[in-house]
Structure 1
Amino acid sequence: MTELRREDRQSFVHFLRMPTEMFDEILQRVGPRIAKQNTFYRNPLEPGLKLAITLRHLASGAKYRSMQYGWRVPHNTISVFIPEVCQAIIDEYVDEVMPFPSTMDDWKRIAEGFMEKWNFPHALGALDGKHVACKCPPGSGSTYFNYKKFYSIVLLALVDSDYKFIWADIGGRGAASDAQLWNASDLKSAIEDGDLDLPDAEPLPHDTEDIPYFYIGFVKPGMSFPSYTLEANFGRTNRRTDGDDAFGLRTFMQKPYGHRALALRKGYSITGSREHVEFQVLMSTMQHHPSTIRLIVTTCLVLHNLMRTRYPRLQNRLVDHEGRNQEIVPGEWRNGRQMRDCQVVQGPNRDNREGEKGTQYLETLD
């Protein structure tokens, strides 16, 4: 690592998925949390080595038994300290880089970001779910076996206009659908109970009727809003759905509205540029216990937000962006593998008057 850092910094970035400056910052802040005392029996592993091994595992998805030869650290030792390092990173950074909005002004800043960057009004975040493959946990039966015929836990996440995670529910069993996880989530309960201090309804641009602020729920491949849209980028369809999927149409929830092929499309991916490019461990079949998987996934989200905060330019080539003529320039994330979508469960039509008003308004933006 020392030679790589000194002689080829670009390879260092490729190896750990972060610049040397960010590695140094994390080591300085997390090092005291993961350092062990010297004993008469043996000297402990250096915090820098433990951090580098952990970051390499997240970046590559390499198995512990294969990593032990390159790092000269036994695989059973690696299995002990990686969860400790992940927990230390979360404890040190989560409140700083992944704070949940606590005031009306915080939510309005998110909505202003969607309007400024995507020309999309009243959006408080984009919500989606993804499967993280894992081995079958002992004694779990089929509760982690999903509809795509592999074992997994589910990541349900809310992101803002800058590709930063705002909220995440990690650890849902693979057999559960988006609808089941969303209905049982603390976020949905807080929204329905009025605990989030969301902005009051206001007229949309060039309109006079008050429309509530809302979240955007992606539930089917390729669903898209017309013209001024955020797109899930999991395929393409032109078929409208009528509020019968995981994220039912509500005053606080809008869903992609199918439309004719559009010359201009806004590209947006919840998991696109981050997990599959930065953290290959999320693309592998994890061999860990579900509790360790939750730690690893949470650490990936925290590190992603830290990277977006400290070094956004390093990631700008990865994400979709708008060109000079308002065309979407695809990011490099599209060339890689994508995480697996969650199951869509059909249910009753739950459209409501306010949701339809919002949908109709968005259609007129074309």
Structure 2
Amino acid sequence: MFVSFAGESFQSLSYQFRMGVSTIRQFVPETCQAIYQVLKDKYVKCPDTALEWQQVATGFLSQWNFPNCIGALDGKHINIRPPPGSGSTFYNYKHHFSIVLMAMVDSYYRFLYVDVGCQGRVSDGGVFAGCTLADALENRTTNIPDPAPLPGSDQLSPYCIVADEAFPLKEYLMKPYPHRGLPPAQRVFNYRLSRARRVVENAFGILASRFRVLQTTINIQDTAKVENIVLACCALHNFLRTESCEVYMADMVDREGPDDAILAGRWREDPALQQASLPRATNATTRAKLTRDNLCQYFMSDCGAVPFQWGKD
């Protein structure tokens, strides 16, 4: 089973295990589905109480100095063979056929939420808008705690998820300030947000490096079976991250050196999963912009600044 996660073809597996290709093509997705069903409730569980969200936020504050952060969000392409008759539905901007893996991770590189299967031509922001997490956040059914004071301050700030430019700016979803030539305060904010958001890039990198089938074009035209394989990879990633961390994570993640420079993890030696494309526009509300501006000001204050943020772009 684990040989298929290494990215070998069904033809290669049929030679190794002396089974017919059609047999392997059937039981690999079925086994992956079983793996996910067994592991998901314990190892791929999105927080559903205020206390669980606060525990995630504590991790981001202690690990990455970003207060009231409850996750880092991103989307990546998984290359596939297009289903018959699908036309350009799965054709992405990198000229491959793909589905999108949308995921939110905690500060320890574990997947809290996974959505897989949206067509590759849809942007990150578009995928997010159609997933159950966005619906729950928008309708306030996730039990996220009420806004809390920022550390060392009496300023209330909403709990939020950090993401890149592909996503819409919301009170619960923080993204960088756009454009170049930003003033120092906004450059500091972008650095602090990028530092927290890097965990999701590392999580995807580790996932693809350990389960190398994700670096290939998955040779199955049934997208439901592809989804089973991807979900099993995510569940096994969390299982191994939790139960066998030292072996599984050894030298894999980015580290910060003595001068706070980034030391690349081993996952960067492998080809990175393709980033989903940017949407044409992401309109933001006044309240969302104010939330970002307040965080920006906090990071420049005596109680919110960290020594290594200065001079970072």
TM-score with structure 2 setting the length: 0.85
Q: Secondary structure at the match of 1:207?
A: coil
Match for residue 181 of structure 2?
none
Counterpart Cα distance in 1 of 2:144 and 2:7: 39
Q: How does 1:116-155 map to 2 (within 5 A)?
A: 116-155=62-101
Aligned-pair distance for 1:209?
A: 1.3
Q: Output the CA distance in 1 between the equivalents of 2:13 and 2:282.
A: 50
The question of whether the paired residues in 1 share the 8 Å contact of 2:110 and 2:203 is answered with no
- Higher alpha-carbon Rg: 1
Verify: 1:259 aligned to 2:179, yes or no: no
Q: Could you tell me which residue of structure 1 aligns to residue 34 of structure 2?
A: 88
Q: Does the 8 A contact of 1:163 with 1:270 survive in 2? A: yes
**Unpaired segments ≥5 residues, structure 1:** 1-53, 220-245
Q: Tell me, what secondary structure is at the counterpart of 1:169? A: strand
Structure 1 residues 116-154: Cα deviation after superposition (integer angstroms, max 9, x where no partner): 111221110000000001112101111101111110000
2:267 to 321, 324, 333: 333
Which of 185, 205, 217 is matched with 2:163 structurally?
A: 217
Unpaired runs of 5+ residues, structure 2, are 178-185
What is the match of residue 56 of structure 1?
3
CA shift for structure 1 position 295: 0.2
The answer to whether 1:296 aligns with 2:229 is yes
Compute the displacement of 1:324 (Å): 5.1
Report the CA distance between 1:282 and its aligned residue: 0.5
> Which residue of the partner structure matches residue 342 of structure 1?
276
Report the residue type matching 1:278 in the other structure.
Answer: R
| Equivalent position of 2:107 in the other structure | 161
Instruction: Report the TM-score when normalising by structure 1.
Output: 0.73
Q: 1:355 aligns with which of 273, 283, 292?
A: 292
The alpha carbon displacement at 1:205 in A equals 1.9
Q: Counterpart of 1:322?
A: 256
Contact 1:272 1:334 in 2 (8 A): no
**Cα distance, 1:163–1:141 mapped onto 2, change above 3 Å:** same
Is structure 2 residue 55 aligned with structure 1 residue 105?
Answer: no
Pick which of 279-288 and 249-258 moved more: 249-258
Q: Which amino acid aligns with 2:2?
A: L
Of stretches 311-320 and 271-280 in structure 1, the one that deviates more from structure 2 is 271-280
Q: Corresponding residue for 2:183?
A: none
Q: Which amino acid aligns with 1:358?
A: L
- By relative contact order (CA 8 Å, sep 6+), the higher-ranking structure is 2
The Cα shift of 1:167 comes to: 0.3
What is the identity percentage for the equivalent residue pairs of Structure 1 and Structure 2? 33
Distance 1:183 1:270 in 2: 23
Alignment of 1:173-322 (within 5 A): 173-219=119-165, 246-257=166-177, 259=187, 266=195, 267-268=198-199, 269-288=201-220, 289-314=222-247, 315-322=249-256
CA distance in 2, matches of 1:285, 1:196: 35
- Match of 1:259, SS state, is helix
Tell me which amino acid in the other structure corresponds to 2:231: T
How many residue pairs get aligned? The number is 284
Distance 2:31 2:229 in 1: 10
Partner letter of residue 274 of structure 1?
I
Residue-by-residue CA offset, 1:211-250 (whole Å, 9 max, x unaligned): 101001124xxxxxxxxxxxxxxxxxxxxxxxxxx32211
Moved more, 269-278 or 142-151: 269-278
Instruction: Give 2:176's aligned amino acid.
Output: P
Tell whether the 8 Å contact from 1:159 to 1:270 is kept in structure 2 after alignment: no
In angstroms, what is the RMSD of aligned CA positions? 2.0
Q: Distance in 1 between matches of 2:169 and 2:238?
A: 29
Q: Map Cα deviations across residues 170-194 of structure 1 (whole Å, 9 max, x no partner).
A: 0000111112211111111111111
Worse-superposed segment, 199-208 or 349-358: 349-358
The amino acid across from 2:233 in the alignment is C
The correspondence of residues 38-49 of structure 1 with structure 2, limited to 5 A, is: none
Q: Quote the residue 2:116 is aligned against.
A: 170
Instruction: Give CA deviations for 1:82-130 in whole Å, capped at 9, x if unaligned.
Output: 1121111111111111111110000000000111111221110000000
Report the residue type matching 1:300 in the other structure.
Answer: C
